[in-house]
């Protein structure tokens, strides 16, 4: 081989190496179900609702028993997922509505998972529900790192499954045959969201991609176009609709995984599925009781609370050949871990002026131990301010700044039935100090007690 031939071969080898390195960046899909609970899925013990695709996903991947949301309602939980910040630092710490459409926007220049991945050459899309700022605000998905948006921007609008319109990027388009009023229409929005998800994934060939698939099922008005296998059940219409919505969501997850296999990219795609908060229903309610969302009392509490039933959500990771199959783990993680995880997955670094409260889960995803940390922290400001902090296996809950701190040992009392505050005053004081240290004051989110109810005249 002469010198010129050798140089050409060397250049080709280097180019091949470079392309190989680029292709090793995994595709990332985060599937977020609005309000689905651990107790809704067969792989967590549900007996009445069928979820075969999520059950298979769990069998082929890892199922988490202590995966924590950002907090126990939509907008702040999603904001934590996108920013890598827990509720002591997150710019959105409650649902705040804006009329006629939209929610309090994330501030200008907020750094997000999508921004980071876009800077690493990823194609990015959000399909489903956004709820963190309309298109003319600083919280627009287009301003926070997403190349493409499709679905509902406003979470209030997303309560309807037969809306009169959706958005393609920032352009509104009408859905034929719908009135937007409760009941049935001709155009079921989930059909549009699921089809757009498949279309967008199928088009991604030139670069790695990140999809935030924020499905609205099963939250909202509990509307479904077809009750399917539940239509003949001796249940209420609400119960049949809810079960059908969970199963419909499950089938759409199946379509995504099937497409990844068909395209031959399953082994280069990390898929994480979770709910955005825990159970939405009082265990004695029509849905909570029939479907046993507490899983025989294993978890206490539900949406808008600070107990484990409100903060732990169903969660599964799937990455054939990388995420261990059939693994079930009790080790905890939280939404704010997602940003540092994608940073490590892409062999990159956060900009120097960006911080995250999370820890990378890469080693944990691959079968190692969960990262060590000092605490998990949550707060919520809806009517009153409530807080919770977990350190090791101790969990402290304060249901108002003027109320006493409750203390539970999660190792022996997952259902948070036995308040040990009187027996462990030193731990209560420690929890109080940690709660204070974990949060930064924000004029939008002062700690406040519930307003006293007015006495009738």
The packing angle between helices 52-60 and 237-263, to 10°, is: 50
Which pLDDT score is estimated for 38? Answer: 96
Report d(CA 80, CA 379) in Å as an integer: 12
Digit-coded pLDDT (tens) for 351-360: 999 999 999 9
Residue for token pair 């484990």 = 308
Token pair listed for 143: 């301003």
pLDDT at 349: 97
Share of the chain above pLDDT 90, in %: 91
Higher-pLDDT residue of 207, 19: 207
pLDDT at 17 over 60: no
Closest CA to 417 of 407, 405, 428: 407
Q: By percentage, how much of the chain surpasses pLDDT 70?
A: 94
CB-based contact 214:129 (threshold 8 Å): yes
What's the distance, Cα to Cα, between the start and end of the chain in Å? 100
CA 209 to CA 244: how far, in whole Å? 30
- The pLDDT assigned to 13 comes to 41
Q: Does position 283 have pLDDT exceeding 80, yes or no?
A: yes
Rounded to whole angstroms, the Cα distance separating 43 from 56 reads 8
Q: Which pair of tokens denotes residue 90?
A: 């997150």
Which residue ranges does the chain devote to CATH 3.40.720.10? Answer: 26-365
Question: What is the predicted pLDDT for the residue at 7?
Answer: 40
With cut-offs at 50, 70 and 90, classify the pLDDT of residue 23. very low
pLDDT digits (tens, 9 = 90+) for 127-156: 999 999 999 999 999 999 999 999 999 999
pLDDT at 18: 34
Task: State yes or no: pLDDT of 48 exceeds 50.
Answer: yes
CA distance 181 to 179: 5
Name the band, by pLDDT with cuts 50, 70 and 90, for residue 456: low
The answer, yes or no, to whether the previous bond of 54 is cis (omega within 30 of 0) is no
pLDDT reported for residue 183? 85
Question: In angstroms, rounded to a whole number, what is the distance separating the alpha carbons of residues 365 and 213?
Answer: 20
pLDDT band at 184 (very low <50, low <70, confident <90, very high): confident
Mean predicted confidence (pLDDT) in 99-124 = 97
Q: Residues spanned by CATH 3.30.1120.10 within the chain?
A: 376-438
26-365 CATH, one of 3.30.450.40, 3.40.1440.60, 3.40.720.10, 3.40.50.2000:
3.40.720.10
Decide if pLDDT at 421 tops 80.
Answer: yes
Q: How many other β-carbons are positioned within 10 Å of the β-carbon of residue 259?
A: 15
34 touches 131 (CB < 8 A): no
Confidence of residue 24 (pLDDT cuts 50, 70, 90): confident
At residue 258, φ and ψ (nearest 5 deg) are: -65, -40
Give me the half-sphere count of Cα atoms (radius 13 Å) on the Cβ side of residue 314. Answer: 30
The pLDDT of residue 208 is above 90: yes
- If you classify domain 376-438 with CATH, what class do you get? alpha beta
Helix, strand, or coil here: 258? helix
Considering the chain, what is the average pLDDT of its residues?
94
Least confident of 21-25, 88-92, 286-290, 302-306: 21-25
* Half-sphere exposure in the Cβ direction for 123 (13 Å, CA): 13
More confident residue, 454 or 384: 384
Using alpha carbons only, how large is the chain's radius of gyration in Å?
A: 23
Which pTM value belongs to this model? 0.94
Q: What is the pLDDT of residue 313?
A: 95
Owner of token pair 């498949």: 198
Q: What is the DSSP string of 109-136?
A: T---HHHHHHHTT-EEEEEEE--S--TT
Return the pLDDT at 20.
33
Calculate mean pLDDT across residues 219-235: 96
């Amino acid at each position: 081989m002469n010198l010129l031939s050798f140089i050409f071969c060397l250049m080709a080898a280097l180019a091949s190496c470079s392309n190989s390195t680029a292709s090793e960046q995994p595709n990332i899909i985060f599937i977020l179900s609005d309000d689905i609970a651990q107790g809704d899925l067969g792989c967590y013990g549900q007996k009445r609702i069928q979820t075969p695709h999520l059950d298979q996903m769990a069998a082929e991947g890892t199922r988490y028993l202590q995966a924590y949301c950002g907090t126990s309602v939509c907008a702040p939980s999603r904001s934590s997922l996108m920013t890598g910040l827990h509720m002591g630092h997150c710019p959105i710490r409650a649902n705040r509505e804006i009329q006629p459409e939209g929610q309090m926007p994330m501030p200008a220049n907020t750094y997000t998972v999508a921004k980071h991945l876009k800077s690493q050459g990823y194609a990015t899309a959000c399909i489903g529900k956004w709820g963190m700022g309309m298109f003319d605000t600083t919280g627009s998905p287009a301003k926070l790192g997403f190349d493409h948006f499709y679905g509902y921007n406003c979470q209030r609008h997303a309560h309807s499954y037969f809306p009169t319109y959706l958005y393609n990027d920032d352009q509104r388009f009408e859905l034929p045959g719908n009135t937007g009023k409760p009941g049935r229409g001709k155009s079921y929005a989930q059909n549009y969201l699921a089809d757009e998800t498949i279309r967008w994934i199928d088009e991604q060939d030139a670069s790695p991609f990140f999809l935030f698939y924020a499905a609205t099922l099963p939250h909202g008005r509990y509307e479904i176009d077809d009750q399917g296998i539940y239509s003949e059940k001796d249940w209420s219409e609400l119960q049949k609709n809810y079960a059908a919505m969970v199963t419909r969501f499950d089938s759409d997850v199946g379509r995504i995984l099937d497409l990844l296999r068909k395209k031959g990219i399953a082994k280069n795609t990390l898929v994480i599925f979770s709910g955005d908060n825990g159970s939405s229903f009082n265990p004695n309610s029509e849905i909570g009781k029939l479907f046993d969302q507490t899983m025989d009392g294993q978890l206490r509490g539900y949406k808008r609370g600070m107990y484990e039933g409100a903060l732990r959500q169903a969660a599964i990771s799937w990455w054939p050949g990388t995420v261990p199959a059939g693994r079930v783990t009790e080790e905890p993680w939280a939404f704010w871990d997602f940003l540092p995880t994608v940073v490590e997955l892409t062999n990159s670094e956060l900009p120097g002026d960006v911080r995250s409260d999370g820890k990378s889960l890469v080693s944990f995803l691959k079968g190692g131990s969960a990262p060590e940390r000092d605490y998990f922290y949550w707060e919520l400001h809806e009517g009153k301010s409530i807080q919770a902090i977990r350190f090791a296996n101790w969990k402290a809950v304060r249901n108002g700044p003027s109320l006493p701190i409750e203390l539970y040992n999660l190792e022996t009392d997952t259902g948070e039935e036995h308040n040990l505050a009187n027996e462990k005053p030193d731990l209560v004081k420690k929890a109080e100090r940690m709660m204070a240290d974990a949060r930064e004051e924000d004029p939008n989110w002062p700690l406040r007690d519930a307003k006293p109810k007015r006495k009738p005249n």
